[in-house]
Every structure is written in structure tokens, then in C-alpha cells.
Amino acid sequence: MTVPTEYQQANIAFYNFLTDVRDQTNFDSTHPAYTIAQGVFQAFRRRLGIRDAIRFCNVLPVGLRALFVADWDPDEPLRCFEDRDTMTREVQNLRPLHNYAPDDAIQMVARALRRNVDREVFDRVLTTLPEGAADFWKV
């Protein structure tokens, strides 16, 4: 069997996503887009048990799967889905001296993510996750 295309083109797919986030936020670089995306993924991940997180992760392109699980402390207490403003502040608290996440960062990352996943499969998985998960990714 050959190496699946998803893995062969992981770098391209990852940068396509970061470019989409960059374009959503009107930044000149993918560097702040990376921090914003990482913060959004971490905020979402903190609200999922491991089984749910793996199900979610499996619908992401391979590079985004890696970003989603990077630096994960599985012993961190599970949080509830809260209002968008509270979760956005959480996103903005990741490396706060180098984080330029706008107040609509979650929605911007959600738009970019939806451009880079199979939307039908993505939405189907969201319906299996805890209440609030689908709203988190609503655009």
C-alpha cells in the first residue's frame, strides 16, 4: 500500500488552513493565525472527554489532528461549554503577550476549519458530541 495522500500532503493542507485563518483575521502572516487556531482548539478540547475528542479529531486533516492534541494534559478537569465571550477570553489567554486573537476568533477559525474538512462528516460528528459542541463551531 502506498502512503495515503492525506499524509503525503499534510504540510500543504496544514498551511492551507493557516492561510484561511490568516485571511479571516486579516493578518499578514500565518504566525498569529497559528496561535489563534491553537487557542481555539484548546478551548474546544477542554470541553470534551477523550473518547469524544478522538472522534472529533478523526474528522480533521492530519496536521490539524496534531495541533488539536499537542500539549494536551488529559488530567486537566473537563470544562462545560460556556458563552462565546468566556471561551474567547480563554483563547486570548494562550500566550497573551503574543496572541492577537480578535473577539470573533472562534467564529473565524470555525469558518476556516469548515473550508478544510468534509463538512457533512464534520457536522455529523458534532451531533454526537456534548451539548454546546455544535454551537461552538457554528458560523
pLDDT at 129: 98
The model's pLDDT over 14-62, given as tens digits with 9 standing for 90+, comes to 999 999 999 999 999 999 999 999 999 999 999 999 999 999 999 999 9
pLDDT for 99 equals 85
Distance CA 59, CA 84 (A): 23
CATH H superfamily, domain 9-71+79-136 = Uncharacterized conserved protein DUF2267 (1.10.490.110)
What predicted TM-score, i.e. pTM, was given to this entire model? 0.95
Domain ranges of the chain: 9-71+79-136
Angle at 139 between CA 32 and CA 54, to 5 degrees: 75
pLDDT value at position 1? 82
Per the CB < 8 A criterion, the answer to whether 46 and 76 are in contact is: yes
Burial class (CB in 10 A: 0-12, 13-18, 19+), 55: middle
